[in-house]
Structures are given as C-alpha cells and as structure tokens.
A and B are shown apart, each in its own frame.
Chain A
Amino acid sequence: MDDEKAVAPEAQKPLRRNLLLGAIFGMGAAITTALGLPALIYLFFSPKSRKQPEWTEAGDITAIAPNAPVEIAFHRKRVDGWKVVSEKTTAWVVKHADNAITAFGPQCTHLGCAYHWTETGNGFLCPCHTSLFSIDGKVISGPAPRPLDRYDTKVETGKLFIGRLRQSAETQA
C-alpha cells in the first residue's frame, strides 16, 4: 500500500474507489445472505414432523342414543415441539338414525369458544356470540363463518376411534 502513502487520499482514483466500494458491498451482501437465508429457513420452515399416533380410542359408543349429541372426553397424544404431550380433549359425538357417527371438534368455528348442545334450541349453541349450529354441524345463525369442524372417525367393535380434526371447509370440499 505504498502508493496510498505517496498520493494524497483526495487524489485517489475514482476507479479504485469504486472497486473498493463494490468489494465492500459485495462481501457485505454475501455475509448477510449467508446468515439471513438460513435464519429465515430456520424460522419459517416447519420442522421435520414426528409421527403422531393416528387413531385415539375415545370409548364405547354402543349406548349412545340416536340424534342425541353427547360430549365425550378422551386423552390424545400430540407432538408439541420437542415433546409429545398427552392432553385431554373432547368431541361432540352424534349417532345418526342410520347408525353413522359424526364427531365434531369442541370449538366454535367463530373464535374458538366451547359450545354446548341445547335441547331447547335443538342445536349447538356457542355462549360467546350465540352462534347456533344444527345437529349436522351447519350454521343456523350467528357469526360463525363455517360449519363445525369434524374429526375423522372409525368404529371397531362398538369402540369409537378418533383421528385428525379437519377444518369444515376441507370436509365439504
């Protein structure tokens, strides 16, 4: 860098200055990308998912009367970050006249409040903003944007097995 000492800095050639500027910004951009891109991937890509148990036994349903919804509580395992948690959850189970079974997710599709079956209203009533759903989950009145969500279900020797909860838009599609 002897030339630097000899020449007054003000007289530095614009070409040299531009090369230096380009190198500085180029290397800066490379470092920013090499750090920023992995950070974005780290934050926004979903982690490799662990296998969730697909079906959870939710109890005997032979005693359930047709067209009389019951709330069934059951424990299911859920992958939560680095843990697998066992948590209590519920489903509103309806046995239809043809013995087919529907299990609704326990939360109102409006803002997630827990709703209940009312004999008087002949429907599922949400206490928060009075959304009312029919026995097949359709919205009768209130602000709920879509029908009740349903669990995948299967029945083996009188026992109900509950699978994934599907958003009702999915079920209808």
Chain B
Amino acid sequence: MKATLDRVAAWIDERTGLYSAARGFFEERIPASSGWHQVFGSVALFLVLTQAFTGILLAFNYAPTPGEAYNSLRYILTEVTGGRLIRGLHHWGASMLMVVVVLHMVQVFLWGAYKKPRESTWIVGVVLLLLTLTYGLTGYLLPWDNRAYWGTVVATNIAAQLPLVGPLMARLLGGEGAVGVVTFARFYGLHVLLLPPATMLLIGLHVFLVRKHGVAPMLGDENVPKKPFFPGQVFKDTAAIFFAFAILFLLAVAVRVPLEQLADPGDTSYIPRPEWYFLFLFQTLKLFNGPLEVVGSAVLPGLAVLTLILVPFIDRGKMVKVTRRTVALAVVVLAAIGWSGLTAAAVKSTPTEALTAQVDYSGPTAWIQLSPEELAGVAYFRQENCVSCHAFGRVSDGPDLSRGSIHRDAAWMIRHFKDPAGMRPGSSMPAAGLSDAQLNSLAAFLLRLNPDNATALADAPEFATQGALVYQSHQCSACHRVNGVGMTVGPALNGLARLQTRSWVIEHFANPQKLSPGTSMPPYRFSAKELDNLISYLFSLPES
C-alpha cells in the first residue's frame, strides 16, 4: 500500500514538483532561538484564510445592494441553517485578525526583527496592517443596519474633510456627504474584489521575503546549529492556530452578533460608534476642534503610519537581546497605555441608555406585530409561570397551547382560568390570580399562538412585555393606536421613535400641556423602570 502511494506521489512530483516544493518549504532550517514568540504570523495567515472562506460562504446568500443587503443578511441569520455561525465566525474573525496582526507586529518590533536586511518585509507588513483596517472599515457597512450606516457616515465625512484630497476622496467613496447606493457599491467592491487579491499578493510577497532572508536570528544564534522548521515549529504554529480558532469558534457560538434595524438616514436619535479597533482614532478626533481637527483626522494618523514605515530606518543599531531593548519596550508600553486610555474614554462616552431599546433583528421578532394587549398577555403568561406546565411544541404536564385545535373562544378561556377544574373536569391547573382585564390579555395572547410563532412570541424581550403591561394597565389604548389596535383620539404610536427623542417623551409624560399645548392627555407618574420599559417598547414598534 505504502509503496503504491509512494509511486503515485513520485509520479505526480516528477510532473509538478509539488512534493519537492512542499518538502523544501517544511525542511527550511530556522535559528535555534525560534519558538513560541514567532507563531503570530502563522495565526494571522490562518485567520485571513478563514475570513476568505466564511466571506465566500456569506456571499453565497448575500445581495450586495442597500435594503436587499439587510434583508438577505437577516435571512442568513434567521432562516439559513448554520447562517448565524458563519456570520459569527466572519464577524469575530475580523476582530481576532486585528488583535493577532497587532501582536505579530509588536513581537517583530520588540525583537527588532525588522533590521537590515528585513526592512522590506516590515514595510509590506505595515501595508498589510492598513489593508486589514480597510477590510474592517468597508465590511462594517455591508449589513446596512443603523450601526453600519451611521458609522460609515462619520468615516466618509472624515475622509471628505481631509485637506487637499478631501473632495476627491468624497467622490471616490461615492458621494459628497451622503452615504447611499454608490458608496455601498464602492465599499462592497473594495471589500470583496480589490482587497482580497491585493492581500493575497502582499502576503505572498511577505512570506517570500521571510523565506528569502530566513527567520530573524537572535544574538547567540550564530554559534548554534539551526533546527528544522518541521515538525517542532510547525507544531507550535499549529497549536497557536488551534488555540486562536477555539476562541473564535466559542465567540461565534456563544456571543450573538446583533443586527440592528434597517439603516435609517432620518433617525436623528442614533449615536454612531465605529468598530472597537477604531475607537481610539474616534477619540483622538475629539481632542482637536475647529481648524485643528485635521490634526486628529489626518496629520496624527498619517504621521503614525509614516513612523511605522520608517521604523527600520530609525532604529539601525546592532542586534541586541530582547531584554536589552528598553526603548522599544517603552514605546510598546506607552502605545498600549495611550491606546487603552483613548479606547476606554470612547467606551465611557458611549451612552448605554440608547442601547437598551435596540431590538436585535437577527432573531425572530414576531412579537413586534402583537397588539399591546396581546403582548401584555406574554407578561402575565410569565408572571403566572404558565410555562412550567405548558411547553410549546410538545405536551408536558399541561397541553401544548400553540396547537390551534385546543383553542376555544376567549370567554371560555377566561372562565377556565378562574375555575380550571370547573370547565375541564380533572384539571390540576391552579386558578390564575389575575383581574378580568388581565385575563383578557392572557387569552388574547394565547389565541395568537400557533406552532410557528409560539417560541418567538414567548421569547419577546422583557422590556417589551413589561412596557406593554404598563401601556395596558394605564389604558393608553383608550386614546392611542398601536399596531392597528386602539382608539384614535390621540396620535397613533407606531413610528414614535422617528418623531421624538426619548427625553422629549419622558418630559411629555410628566407635563403634556407644556409640550403639546391643548392636549387632553393627563400627566403620568411612572416609576423609572416603568418609564424605561414603556418608552423602549414604544420605540421598538414598527413604522406602521
């Protein structure tokens, strides 16, 4: 068997040279000092390939135009089997790649591995870092939700305000001041057509240069024989890749990447934030105002990139031990402190209040269509702990309430809730301790259940069910209409988020006359929690 395989291998190798090339690659001899500190390059390469793989898979189900983009991504997340995992891998893979690329650079920097004759390897690496950032910037727009849209509005405006090249950049990015279809097409084109081959070429060049100059030796390596790359170092690289991949996979499985609402250029309440690895730049910008703004947006970042490129020409000293490179170490520590400080400040300045009202559209959102009465029914369903006996999709202690065949009219159900055994002899269900209005709510919700929506409805977010409960108990529907249910004395409340800010609504509850003179709405005193839930609920309602 082995002899046959060897013959086949030899036959192929004679005609293609594949095996010899691979053997040559793995038999490369590396300095004896090589070890765990040099694994980051391999991990970065692995993550780039994973991004390409998951990116191609996403593209198979993704329509790259605004609107369609959002709907197709939502389709990937809610309907395609495994779609959420693939998107999670791509999303978290991007963040991990940033981390690993930076670790790779820090290692090379600390060890001084960029020194003569390896300057070109370092410079190609800096360009690859810039490409990675461009991937992040362009990929951020592609979900076309509010986060993507508003983040990109800020980014393109920064580019448009650059001195001299600003107007050109604006035109190149597809529109002066406006992010639209053209911007989207340009970002998509960059992300999937221009960047991947550019990255592959530069990675090829980078690896070629690493091989050409050999792995950078350390002081003392000249006196010891070199060791083979395979299997010792290959094992270390693989173990590091495995470790990184395990973290990536866990993140993709465990941390849900939200999808916000469809990009809304009219949403004035949205507070844009860039991806975490751009937060330090975002914060730097805040330090410079007026005519100095260009210092934060262009001069400092430009100087930083230039300095990075020039590093091998600035530090031209002889090779010394890592532990002796105190200046390099100080630079890294200072950079890390600066970066962390700026990022922390940016995170701190991000209001969390606005985020609690965000609905994650990457999950089923059937509950949004319910009337407030039905949604309050979900709250009572939870309050009475009905689910301990009534599971959906199977019979547990009590019957499966999502089955249409057991549904009766509301009057029967309410009598049954009050006196379970009276309506259904032998029932061991305890009577519900709810008022008639509350039982109405509960019955209304149960009548909306079917096997397809049961879980999605019962999983409605807490703020929404609690908000609907406040809405019901204060009889808001006596004047207002939500999802087509309620009176029209006051304005319909769907789309309220478009019209008013949170603080306006809070003030309006406290003093309606002040903000809407002549209104017949009385003032309301809610607890802070009630107010928060109610407004979050109202703001989550669909436009019509």
Q: Which residues of A are interface residues toward B (Cβ below 8 A)?
A: 1, 4-5, 8-9, 12, 17, 20-21, 23-24, 27-28, 30-31, 34-35, 38-39, 41-43, 45-48, 50-51, 81-83
* A51 to B241 CA separation, bound complex (whole angstroms): 43
Tell which of B70-78, B349-357, B415-423, B486-494 binds the partner.
Answer: B70-78
Is A41 in contact with B72, judged by CB distance below 8 angstroms?
A: no
* A30 to B234 CA separation, bound complex (whole angstroms): 16
Is A21 in contact with B231, judged by CB distance below 8 angstroms?
A: yes
Contact of B242 among A8, A31, A35, A50 (CB under 8 A): A31
Contact of B82 among A9, A31, A38, A82 (CB under 8 A): A38
* A89 to B182 CA separation, bound complex (whole angstroms): 35
Is B239 in contact with A27, judged by CB distance below 8 angstroms?
A: yes
Is B238 in contact with A4, judged by CB distance below 8 angstroms?
A: no
Is A41 in contact with B225, judged by CB distance below 8 angstroms?
A: no
* A31 to B239 CA separation, bound complex (whole angstroms): 11
Is A23 in contact with B238, judged by CB distance below 8 angstroms?
A: yes
12 contacts between A and B (CB under 8 A): A1-B35, A4-B227, A5-B224, A9-B225, A9-B227, A23-B235, A23-B238, A24-B234, A24-B235, A34-B249, A42-B83, A82-B68
Known A27-B239, A45-B82; judge A20-B231 contact (CB<8 A). yes
Q: Give chain B interface residues in 220-247, CB to chain A under 8 Å.
A: 224-225, 227-228, 231-232, 234-235, 238-239, 241-242, 245
Chain A interface mostly: helix
When distances are taken between beta carbons in the complex, the residues of chain A under 8 Å from B53 are 35, 39
B85 at interface (Cβ–Cβ under 8 A)? Answer: yes
Contact size class for B? 35 or more
Q: Give chain B interface residues in 67-98, CB to chain A under 8 Å.
A: 68, 71-72, 74-75, 78-83, 85-86, 89
Contact of B238 among A1, A27, A39, A42 (CB under 8 A): A27
Contact of B239 among A5, A23, A83 (CB under 8 A): A23
B32 at interface (Cβ–Cβ under 8 A)? Answer: yes
* A34 to B75 CA separation, bound complex (whole angstroms): 23
* A42 to B63 CA separation, bound complex (whole angstroms): 17
Chain B interface mostly: helix
Is B235 in contact with A42, judged by CB distance below 8 angstroms?
A: no
Residue of B nearest to A47 (CB): B79
* A8 to B226 CA separation, bound complex (whole angstroms): 9
* A79 to B72 CA separation, bound complex (whole angstroms): 13
Is A82 in contact with B81, judged by CB distance below 8 angstroms?
A: no
Is B81 in contact with A45, judged by CB distance below 8 angstroms?
A: yes
When distances are taken between beta carbons in the complex, the residues of chain B under 8 Å from A83 are 71
* A12 to B245 CA separation, bound complex (whole angstroms): 29
Is B78 in contact with A42, judged by CB distance below 8 angstroms?
A: no
Known A47-B80, A48-B79; judge A42-B57 contact (CB<8 A). yes
Is A31 in contact with B245, judged by CB distance below 8 angstroms?
A: yes
**Chain B 24-65: CB-based contact to A (< 8 A → 1; otherwise 0):** 000000001001000000000000001001000100110100
Q: From residue B333, how far is it (CB to closest CB) to chain A in Å?
A: 27
When distances are taken between beta carbons in the complex, the residues of chain A under 8 Å from B86 are 38-39, 42
When distances are taken between beta carbons in the complex, the residues of chain B under 8 Å from A21 are 231
* A8 to B83 CA separation, bound complex (whole angstroms): 50
* A81 to B245 CA separation, bound complex (whole angstroms): 31
Is A39 in contact with B239, judged by CB distance below 8 angstroms?
A: no
* A74 to B86 CA separation, bound complex (whole angstroms): 39
When distances are taken between beta carbons in the complex, the residues of chain A under 8 Å from B57 are 39, 42-43
B397 at interface (Cβ–Cβ under 8 A)? Answer: no
B452 at interface (Cβ–Cβ under 8 A)? Answer: yes
* A9 to B225 CA separation, bound complex (whole angstroms): 9
* A5 to B53 CA separation, bound complex (whole angstroms): 38
Is A38 in contact with B85, judged by CB distance below 8 angstroms?
A: yes
When distances are taken between beta carbons in the complex, the residues of chain A under 8 Å from B235 are 20, 23-24
Q: From residue B423, how far is it (CB to closest CB) to chain A in Å?
A: 32
* A77 to B471 CA separation, bound complex (whole angstroms): 36
Is B75 in contact with A81, judged by CB distance below 8 angstroms?
A: yes
Is A41 in contact with B79, judged by CB distance below 8 angstroms?
A: no
When distances are taken between beta carbons in the complex, the residues of chain B under 8 Å from A38 are 82, 85-86
* A61 to B85 CA separation, bound complex (whole angstroms): 50
